[in-house]
Amino acid sequence: MNADFNIDSILARYNFDSSALIQILSDAQDKYGYLPREVLEDISQKIEVPLSKMWGVISFYALFKLKPPAKYNITVCQGTACHVSGAKRNLDYIESKLNLKAGEHSPDGKYSLETVACIGSCALAPTIVINGKVYGRNTVKTIDKLLSGLEEGEKNE
């Protein structure tokens, strides 16, 4: 067991209670950015839930990730208010700009593109979330600015 993947403090938070599986997984994901296999095996043993059962839970919920996150995670909200304000068009535009489909990671690990059902910031539709920060009232113009901002940041590093 890799020492980096010590999960005990999270498990202790929930008294090793198997009914808190979803909380444990989401805390683990917060810690590592995704759910590494070693971590899952460790959790499985310690709270006595078979890995197969855990897989059933992980694959059921959209927020669990089995791949390490990209450097910039772009999430395009597809809520109803965003949809009627052009979210689909914005997604199409970003997909072709980054040459990525929703759900994919770019090969260099720089970008990942996702959609979300609704983040509840409907009054600012259409919204885009980049690494947790919400940007509202997006148009092609603001998207260009956001994307080139990310590129700029890259160069300055």
Partner 1 sequence: MNKSNHFHYITEEAILHSKEKHNKNRIIIGYGTCGIAAGAEEVLKEVQQVLHELKIDDVIIEKTGCIGCCSYEPLMDIELANSPRVSYKNVKPEEVKEIIDKHFGGDLKKEKVFCMFDEQENIIQYQESWKYNIPQIYSGLPTFKSLPMLKKQKRITLRNVGIIDPENINDYLARGGYQALYKTLTTLSPKEVIDEIKSSGLRGRGGAGFPTGVKWEFAYNAELSKTTEDSIEKTEKYVVCNADEGDPGAFMDRSLIEGDPHSVIEGLTIAAYAIGANKGFIYIRAEYPLAIKRLEIALKQAYENHFLGDNIFGTDFHFSIEIRKGAGAFVCGEETALINSIMGLRGEPRPRPPYPAVSGLWEKPTIINNVKTLVTVPVILLNGAKWFSSIGTEDTKGTAVFALTGDVKNSGLVEVPMGTTLREIIFDIGGGVKGDKQFKAVQTGGPSGGCIPFSLIDTPVDFASLKKLGSIMGSGGMIVCSESTCMVDLARYFMTFIASESCGKCTPCREGTVRALEMLEKITSGDATLDILTDLEQLSFVIKDTALCGLGQTAPNPILSTLKYFREEYIEHIEQKVCRAKVCPGLFNYVINDDLCIKCGVCQNVCPVDAVFGSKETGFFIENRLCISCNACFERCPKKAIEKVN
Of the pair 69, 136, the CB lying nearest partner 1 is at 136
Of the candidate residues 5, 16, 26, 150, the single one contacting partner 1 (CB under 8 A): 26
Contact flag: residue 56 with partner 1 (CB under 8 A):
yes
Q: Considering only residues 72-131, where is the footprint of partner 1 by CB under 8 A? A: 78-86, 88-90, 92-93, 96-97, 116-125, 127
Contact flag: residue 135 with partner 1 (CB under 8 A):
yes
User: Which contacts of 46-53 are long-range, i.e. CB under 8 A and separated by 24 or more positions?
Assistant: 46/7, 46/8, 46/11, 46/16, 47/11, 47/16, 47/17, 47/18, 47/21, 48/18, 49/18, 49/21
**Helix and strand element counts for the chain (H, E):** 7, 4
**Which class for 101: exposed (0-12), middle (13-18), buried (19 or more C-beta within 10 A)?**
exposed
Contact flag: residue 12 with partner 1 (CB under 8 A):
no
Site for partner 1, rule CB under 8 A: 18-23, 25-26, 49, 56-57, 60-64, 78-86, 88-90, 92-93, 96-97, 116-125, 127, 132, 134-136, 139-141, 144
